[in-house]
Amino acid sequence: MVLAERRAELTSPRRIDDDPDLLTRARERLRPSLRRVLNGTGVVIHTNLGRAPLAQAAIAAVAAAAFGYSNLELNLDAGVRGSRDEHVRALLVELTGAEDALVVNNGAGATLLAIAALAREQGIAVSRGQIIEIGGGFRMPDVLTLAGVPLIEVGTTNRTRLADYERAISERGVTTILRVHQSNFRMFGFVEEVPIERLCSLGVPVIDDLGSGALGKGLQVLADEPLVHRSVAAGAALVCFSGDKLLGGPQAGILVGGSDAIEACRRHPLVRALRIGRLPLAGLEATLALYRDPQRAIREVPVLAMLSYDPLTLADRAERLAAACGGKVVQTVARVGGGALPLLELHGPAVAIGDPDRDPTVLANALRTGDPVLVPRISDGRVLVDPRTLADDEIEVAAAAICRALQAAT
């Protein structure tokens, strides 16, 4: 292939590329496009880097499901056709206290399905402060248009009261309320929102789009995120959240709620188009199983572990990395990312590398195009590698990648 290409180049009157290093070219062509990346950014849920790394138990479950056939849609006891979300239904019910549960391929799909299945032509009431864009162009008004449901705006950007929703129900005949968590931003000052408990007291079904999906109780850093079980206990008809944000599992969209509402989703034609694959389903089941013991989840689910590392662990990793690549340990602030906890600052050490007087993008480019790839963070004109988002056994590999990039960049 590469040889044929080179022959064509040499005989062509127009020379396209005069680099005769055909071996490098052939290697690049054979290299997979989707590759492992060392995340040195300190952003724990980095959407561009694949969001949540999986727990060991989830990796094993995915590998087992990939290996051969599985009972994906076969009920082994009865010997009849089963349903794929049966594998996580009981776990989700147990962990959230909901009556029933359903999984689809991502959080956006869960929100779309919930709206399409529950809302009626009279429209859905949404606070003006919650008509948001999540990222990747996923905007609430567009989602409602797609679901064929009129958007009934209530309240104002900064203040929405219970009476605003009551008026939408009594005067405009609204039959459903949608609450959307302000995942990736916060509002301060003269603001007012209606708590989920009061929304659920209005007598119409409430869809609660939580986005991040914090399942673990008792994790201090998650205190600012709405917990799934609170919305379930409040009586939300459907609670939607992501599998690969704060839950720390594979890409998936989870719906939990009342049996009628979940049944309406299950019967909706969209559910077939949003079906989850067997590999993420296997990873999700194993991840959820870890939550049965909250302390175990904090230790073994990487996202939770990274958010709650003790300072000594991070200091030790930073020292090891700095010693191996000649960098300097500095104190910095890491972020959660993935549109969750936008204000939370994770203080900790990072390793500053390279010459502080040189353009940091040269070294960052060398790291990003190296093998293995390491994505650093550039802060105040310096290239930083944050050990929070590197696994313990990635420190040596990262140090070697840094040494090579330092050589290449000089």
Residues at the site binding ligand PLP, with contacts judged by CB under 6 A: 106-108, 111, 134, 180-181, 183, 209, 211-212, 242, 253, 339
By beta-carbon proximity to ligand PLP, the closer residue of 40 and 253 is 253
Q: How far is the CB of 180 from ligand PLP (least distance, A)?
A: 5
Q: How far is the CB of 209 from ligand PLP (least distance, A)?
A: 5
Spacing of C-alpha 379 from chain mean position: 24
Of 239, 246, 260, the closest CA to residue 103 belongs to 239
Q: How far is the CB of 228 from ligand PLP (least distance, A)?
A: 13
By beta-carbon proximity to ligand PLP, the closer residue of 53 and 360 is 53
DSSP string computed for 144-194: HHHHT--EEEES-SSB--HHHHHHHHHHH---EEEEE--TT----SS-B--
**118 near 206, Cβ under 8 Å?**
no
CA-CA distance, 86 to 100, in Å (whole number)? 10
CA-CA distance, 320 to 301, in Å (whole number)? 24
Those residues whose C-beta lies under 8 Å from the C-beta of residue 14, and which sit 6 or more positions away, are none
By beta-carbon proximity to ligand PLP, the closer residue of 216 and 253 is 253
Q: How far is the CB of 144 from ligand PLP (least distance, A)?
A: 13
Return the residue matching tokens 């959307």.
180
Secondary structure element (H or E) that encloses residue 287, with its range: helix 278-290
By beta-carbon proximity to ligand PLP, the closer residue of 108 and 318 is 108
Q: How far is the CB of 233 from ligand PLP (least distance, A)?
A: 20
CA-CA distance, 267 to 259, in Å (whole number)? 12
Q: How far is the CB of 119 from ligand PLP (least distance, A)?
A: 16
By beta-carbon proximity to ligand PLP, the closer residue of 339 and 387 is 339
By beta-carbon proximity to ligand PLP, the closer residue of 160 and 242 is 242
Those residues whose C-beta lies under 8 Å from the C-beta of residue 63, and which sit 6 or more positions away, are none
By beta-carbon proximity to ligand PLP, the closer residue of 108 and 390 is 108
Those residues whose C-beta lies under 8 Å from the C-beta of residue 23, and which sit 6 or more positions away, are none
CA-CA distance, 224 to 341, in Å (whole number)? 7
Of 240, 252, 226, the closest CA to residue 51 belongs to 252
Q: How far is the CB of 121 from ligand PLP (least distance, A)?
A: 23
Q: How far is the CB of 34 from ligand PLP (least distance, A)?
A: 18
By beta-carbon proximity to ligand PLP, the closer residue of 181 and 388 is 181
Cis peptide leading into residue 205 (ω within 30°): no
By beta-carbon proximity to ligand PLP, the closer residue of 342 and 372 is 342
Q: How far is the CB of 252 from ligand PLP (least distance, A)?
A: 8
**261 near 115, Cβ under 8 Å?**
no
